[in-house]
Amino acid sequence: MATTPVLEIEDLTLTAKTQEVLVKDVSFSLNQGESLGLVGESGSGKSLTLRAVLGLLPRGIEQTGGVIRSAADSAMVFQDPRGALDPLCPVVKQVAEVVYYRQRLSRKASRAAALELLHMLGLPDSLRKTDRYPGQLSGGQCQRIVIAMALACKPGILLCDEPTTALDVTVQKQIMETVGRLQQELGFAMIFVTHNLAVAAAMCSRLAVMKKGEIVEQGSTLSVLQEPQNPYTQMLINSVLPVPELAPEGSGVLWT
């Protein structure tokens, strides 16, 4: 596995207009093809860190310190798959639009590429004939569309913001398997934000634990899980029952 970092973050600090510091001195780096799990409870600043990497901070929040060095394009998968799609635009068209603007293909080629992506994500081929609106698809299918839109950007880094939280448990597993498979096939690096330690452990080779806007602990998944240094990490581990069986480090294989 290559070891050039595609993303380096140093001392990132994000501040709201009300002068409240939301993310403080966050530093980590991400190697090519690597996956990093960003774990912590809601409001700990995980999602904001992702938004900062993407360069799309919500209104009223500013980066007041630190550097983000990125050697590759990033794309994002969101928490609520239904909300993340334009309800009035057919799904294939939405994916094709991203292909059109990002890969600069013709309209026709864009649509073909979009359908190809949807096929890769395990969406039914019936979309080829009749396009559907987001409201006509299930949550899991919508999330696959959102992932397809992210992949249409040909990202070097895929940012996943709790992509499975809003889904049924069984669908969660399918989506995680799909993302893991695609990462192996396409070789992008990934930051996987979740409040679920078990999900992060299954998806990622490295973990960073965030609390109240700061990273309290980071390291390889196994070391963080087996020898947690911070009491907060210990608490998170204790709250996961049962701890999932883990595959050997770095293999990237998921839940078995």
Partner 1 sequence: MMMPGKLQGSAAGNRTSYSWLTAALIRAAVVILCVMTAVFFLIRIVPGDPAKMILGEYSTPEAIAAMHHTLGLDLPLWEQFIRFVKLLFTSGDTGNSIVSGTSTRVLIAERAPVTMLLIGMACVIAIVIALLLATVAATNKDKLADHLIRIFPAITLGMPIFWVGILFIMLLSVRLRWFPVGGVGEGWSGMLYSLTLPAVTVAFSQIPTLVRSLRAQMLEVLESDFVVTLRAARIPGRVILFKHVLRNSALPTLMLLGVNISYLIGGTLVVEQVFGIKGIGSLLFTSISNRDFPVIQGIALYCAVSVVIISLLVEILAKWLDPRTKGTR
- Residue 103, interface with partner 1 (CB under 8 A)? no
Burial class (CB in 10 A: 0-12, 13-18, 19+), 12: buried
CB neighbours (10 Å) of residue 109?
A: 14
Rounded least distance, CB 84 to partner 1, Å: 4
Q: How many residues bind partner 1 (CB under 8 A)?
A: 42
- Per the CB < 8 A criterion, the answer to whether 118 and 95 are in contact is yes
Rank residues 142 and 236 by Cβ distance to partner 1 and give the closer one: 142
Rounded least distance, CB 140 to partner 1, Å: 6
17-25, 70-78, 106-114, 246-254 -> range binding partner 1 (CB under 8 A): 70-78
| Window 111-130: residues binding partner 1 (CB under 8 A) | 122-124, 126-127
Q: Which of these, 17, 15, 75, lies nearest to 45 by C-alpha position?
A: 15
- Residue 76, interface with partner 1 (CB under 8 A)? yes
Rank residues 142 and 201 by Cβ distance to partner 1 and give the closer one: 142
Kind of pairing, strands 35-39 and 189-194? parallel
- Per the CB < 8 A criterion, the answer to whether 213 and 22 are in contact is yes
39-47, 53-61, 64-72, 247-255 -> range binding partner 1 (CB under 8 A): 53-61
- Per the CB < 8 A criterion, the answer to whether 177 and 6 are in contact is no
Rank residues 133 and 255 by Cβ distance to partner 1 and give the closer one: 133
| Window 142-181: residues binding partner 1 (CB under 8 A) | 144, 146, 149-150, 152-153, 168, 170-171, 174
- C-alpha gyration radius of the chain: 18
